[in-house]
Structure 1
Amino acid sequence: MRQIQHVVKAIIRPGESNTSENFKLPIGFTTGVAVYTNGVEKTANVMTTIEMKDDNSIAIVPAVHIDNWRQMSAGEYEKSFKPLNFDTGNKDYSLIFALEEPLSGVVPLKFHVVFLYNNTIKKV
């Protein structure tokens, strides 16, 4: 098994309160996820949530505060990620990013969501 990363990027622009990104995870077994931002949510003083759904609109992770998605301090890199543990199954997924009110100011809120997954790689 080889550990691989897949990144999904998103932006909430000033005046907007949400955005979503549709994506396909490469075939494999997803072990964890972590979110990184440009920090705008810390000064916006509004609740920021992220939700993940599969292609049947079933919530894999219900809408929860962004801190629930953040990488934690842990001894090992993979263990510091939010655990997911599911087979990607070649499905489409969506991430829904939301603020409780429109983003003020002039700087957009940028997200990088990093998925860790394992995939069997055959050597040629």
Structure 2
Amino acid sequence: MRQIQYVVKAIIKPGETDTSANFKLPTGFTTGVAIYTNGVEKSTNAMASVEMKDDNSIAIIPSVHIDNWRQSNGGEYEKSFKPLNFDTGNKDYSLIFTLEDKLESERPLKFHVVFLYNNNVKKM
């Protein structure tokens, strides 16, 4: 097994309240996820939430505050991520990013969502 990272990027523009990103995780077993932002939500006190759904609109992770998605401090790298344990299969996924109110900032709120997953590597 080899650990791989997959990044999904999204932006909420000034004056907007939400955005979404559709993506397909490469084949493998997803072990964790962490979210990183450019910090705009902290300077504007914006309450930001993220939800993850599969291609059947079933919530894999219900809408929760982004701090629930953040990498924890200390310990091993992989264990500091929000745990996930599912086979990616051949499914499409979506991340839905929402704010309680319109983003009152001149700068957009940028997200990077990092998924960790393992896949089988066949030696030739």
- TM-score exceeds 0.5: yes
Look up the SS of the partner of 2:27 in the other structure: coil
Cα separation, 2, equivalents of 1:87 and 1:98: 26
Range with bigger deviation, 9-18 or 40-49? 40-49
Displacement after TM superposition at 1:105 (Å): 1.8
Look up the SS of the partner of 1:91 in the other structure: coil
Q: Residue 31 of structure 1 aligns with which residue?
A: 31
Q: Match for 2:94: what amino acid?
A: S
Q: Match for 1:9: what amino acid?
A: K
Q: Residue 91 of structure 2 aligns with which residue?
A: 91
Displacement after TM superposition at 1:102 (Å): 0.6
Q: Match for 1:42: what amino acid?
A: K
Q: Match for 1:109: what amino acid?
A: L
Q: Which runs of 4+ in 1 moved over 6 A?
A: none
| Aligned 1:15-26 pairs, distance under 5 A | 15-26=15-26
TM-score, normalized by length of structure 2? 0.98
List alignment gaps of at least 5 residues for structure 1. Answer: none
Q: Residue 100 of structure 2 aligns with which residue?
A: 100
The alignment covers a number of residue pairs equal to 124
Q: Match for 1:102: what amino acid?
A: K
List alignment gaps of at least 5 residues for structure 2. Answer: none
Displacement after TM superposition at 1:100 (Å): 0.3
Cα separation, 1, equivalents of 2:41 and 2:106: 13
Cα separation, 1, equivalents of 2:79 and 2:24: 23
Q: Match for 1:34: what amino acid?
A: A
Look up the SS of the partner of 2:57 in the other structure: coil
Identity of aligned residues (%): 77
CA RMSD of aligned residues (A): 0.6
Does residue 17 of structure 2 align to residue 53 of structure 1? no
Range with bigger deviation, 43-52 or 91-100? 43-52
TM-score, normalized by length of structure 1? 0.98
Look up the SS of the partner of 2:68 in the other structure: helix
Cα separation, 2, equivalents of 1:58 and 1:98: 17
Look up the SS of the partner of 2:67 in the other structure: helix
Q: Match for 1:25: what amino acid?
A: L
Displacement after TM superposition at 1:73 (Å): 1.2
